[in-house]
Structure 1
Amino acid sequence: MRGLNPAAGPGAAPAAGVAGPPAGPTAVSTAGPTTGPTTGTVAAPTAGPAAGASPADKLGPRPSPAGGVTGPVLQSGSSGLVSTVLDYYRFAQMLLDGGTFGERRLLHPETVAAMRHNQLPDNLLPYQLPWPHTARYTRGCGFGFGVRVVLDVQQWGVPGSVGEFGWAGAANTYLWIDPAQQVVALLFAQAFPFMHTSLDTEFKALVYEALRG
């Protein structure tokens, strides 16, 4: 799994100032000893759980090898991390828990609050992606630091809660975190093109239907 979020760019420089110089293309960050090892790098290895995945391309008969993940490395604060689905879940659970992971605090509560609350002025709402067919993903939403945030569930038109936040990836990978329901949900289709099916909303409806019992 590979991450890219240009919108997080403004926060990358302060983060780099706090974290110090890059540790190199094979650096692994371990969040805590109580939940098993983590596997995260800024360049994909050739084997192992963090090796680059190959998303399927609907426009062609074969999988499309993931490019730009083995080097040379651009050590950016807002893109380029290669990791596993399990580690992505751990990261999301840490955000749901307000910045703590196990017994360790990894983010200040103020940092998580800045992600979970809209940072856009009223004249830029609702937040919009540049592609018309993705309007359903951000209808009724604002934008926190690096993630879209639900402001109006009725306008959004899909199950959820005010204050839910998350993001989507180009290969139809989806994450949402719902503090009101204490839910973290991830969906990985690994298929292009982006958001040309209703898979994400159908999955979401099933999750909330199960929560209602």
Structure 2
Amino acid sequence: MLAPTPASPESAGMSKPALDRIDDHLKRQYIDAGRFPGTQLVVFRRGNIVHSSVQGLADLERKVPVRDDTIFRIYSMTKPITSVAFMMLVEEGRVALDEPVHKYIPEWKNLGVFQAGIAPAFLTRPPARPMQIIDLLRHTSGLTYGFQQRSNVDAAYREKRIGEVELSGTLDSMIADLAKIPLDFSPGEAWNYSVSADVTGYLIGKISGMPFEQFLQERIFNPLGMADTGFFVPADKAHRFAACYNADPGGMMSFHATEKKGGLSLQDDPTTSSFLTPPSFISGGGGLCSTAADYLTFCRALLAGGELGGVRLIGPKTLALMTTNHLPGNRDLPAISRSMFAEATYNGIGFGLGFSVTMDPAKTLLAGSPGEYAWGGAATTSFWIDPAEELITIFMTQVLPSSAYPIRRELRSMVYAAISDSNL
């Protein structure tokens, strides 16, 4: 795929000094302060890359710098790719959003909703309605993540290690395990960040008749030229793979910037990482590794209405459907969420089919545009697309958890502050 042309910020209505301030901020507040090992930032506007920077180290132990082609674990930034892949099947008439999930996973037909008890002695009740395909794409399925640590259902996920990216097991074994655990709530009743995208990946394989990873390769990555995106890093690219760190010295996922901080601890060594070999569990929720350049290619296709360089992933009306708020009652996340964690701020934010969607920028207390859509990954990678401003921002680093620092809010404020010629 033809790479975008770099251009001066001013030619795209942006301020170079304001963009340079972002790099200064990242260096001073995060890299020099020992909070991030290194960073990569790409800002794309009106058809051109107007800012691209790499700073710091991809591997602190070996003093390897971040480069333009550094490969990162993008974790939950896998979810939008999985969702687009699924909607390709919807466009082909092979599946519909209002179909019950048990049509494709018969062993889930009698899944009950948790009332009491611990595994395996759960007391359940019937759901108000069956889980539908749309519930998977918008996280209203009643499924959960074990790391939520909110309920006995979460505990059952932890016991079975359901949805953990770096483990043995398969998509088939995950589906079988989930058939034995009740739903956390009745589908459509609430929003809860969950393994729904992993289930979506399973369905892509079942409906398309080819392995999920093959579908992504043949229908998205190869056509768009995303040569550095996949579920593992091959040997000839291993030298470009970044190390991953934990902001919590104890290796936990509960660290927040307001708490006492220590230095970064190595979480995943790029020379011994499980990401260096093909996984048995192909996670549509968090399994991909990629580069900023590859992810920009994917985002450019979305910004252009689902097509890039003659390669069409989905139609513009399908993309418009995906980037509309689908939460029941058109509510935002605070009104419906039970989740202890998500890769998005809540106020004024809804959820579409694979993305968070900005409904009301005033409620977010951040500059932005209605209709902007976004998501991020556990290691603090993130992106957002603003169709109104013809803007894409991609940020890469490798620090768990993504809630450790308010970097996403800061980037949003600083990138929007750099716009000197608004489309609004």
> What TM-score, normalized to structure 2?
0.44
Q: Residue 415 of structure 2: SS of its match in structure 1?
A: helix
CA distance in 2 between counterparts of 1:143 and 1:56 reads 29
Q: Residue 268 of structure 2: SS of its match in structure 1?
A: coil
Does the 8 Å contact 1:153/1:161 carry over to 2? Answer: yes
CA distance in 2 between counterparts of 1:175 and 1:129 reads 24
The one-letter code of the counterpart of 2:418 is A
Does the 8 Å contact 2:244/2:266 carry over to 1? Answer: yes
Figure out how many residues of one structure are paired with residues of the other and give that number. 209
CA distance in 2 between counterparts of 1:129 and 1:189 reads 28
Q: Residue 267 of structure 2: SS of its match in structure 1?
A: coil
Instruction: Give 2:375's aligned residue.
Output: 167
Say if 2:252 is the partner of 1:43. Answer: no
How many angstroms does 1:83 deviate by?
2.0
The unaligned stretches of length 5 or more in structure 2 are 1-71, 80-194, 250-263
Which structure: larger Rg?
2
How many angstroms does 1:48 deviate by?
1.2
The one-letter code of the counterpart of 2:315 is H
Which one has a larger percent helix, Structure 1 or Structure 2? 2
Per the alignment, do residues 108 and 84 of structure 1 end up closer, same or farther by CA in structure 2, a change over 3 Å counting? Answer: same
CA distance in 1 between counterparts of 2:344 and 2:222 reads 36
How many angstroms does 1:170 deviate by?
0.9
Deviation sequence 1:100-148 (CA, Å, 0-9, x none) = 011121223343223211111127532547237x697121111111110
Does the 8 Å contact 1:42/1:82 carry over to 2? Answer: yes
Say if 2:285 is the partner of 1:93. Answer: no
Instruction: Give 1:63's aligned residue.
Output: 266
Deviation sequence 1:159-208 (CA, Å, 0-9, x none) = 11000001011111111000110100011232123222222111111111
Instruction: Give 2:396's aligned residue.
Output: 188
CA distance in 2 between counterparts of 1:76 and 1:190 reads 19
Per the alignment, do residues 205 and 50 of structure 1 end up closer, same or farther by CA in structure 2, a change over 3 Å counting? Answer: farther
Q: Which runs of 4+ in 1 moved over 6 A?
A: none
Q: Residue 184 of structure 1: SS of its match in structure 2?
A: strand
Instruction: Give 1:149's aligned residue.
Output: 357
2:290 to 83, 86, 109: 83
**Identity across the alignment (%):** 29
Instruction: Give 2:321's aligned residue.
Output: 114
Higher relative contact order (CA 8 A, sep 6+): 2
RMSD over aligned Cα atoms? 3.1
2:340 to 116, 131, 134: 131
> What TM-score, normalized to structure 1?
0.81
Deviation sequence 1:16-41 (CA, Å, 0-9, x none) = 356541266xx573234xxx662222
Q: Residue 73 of structure 1: SS of its match in structure 2?
A: coil
How many angstroms does 1:77 deviate by?
4.0
Instruction: Give 2:311's aligned residue.
Output: 104
The one-letter code of the counterpart of 2:314 is L
The unaligned stretches of length 5 or more in structure 1 are none
Deviation sequence 1:25-65 (CA, Å, 0-9, x none) = xx573234xxx662222222234179643222223454321
The one-letter code of the counterpart of 2:396 is F
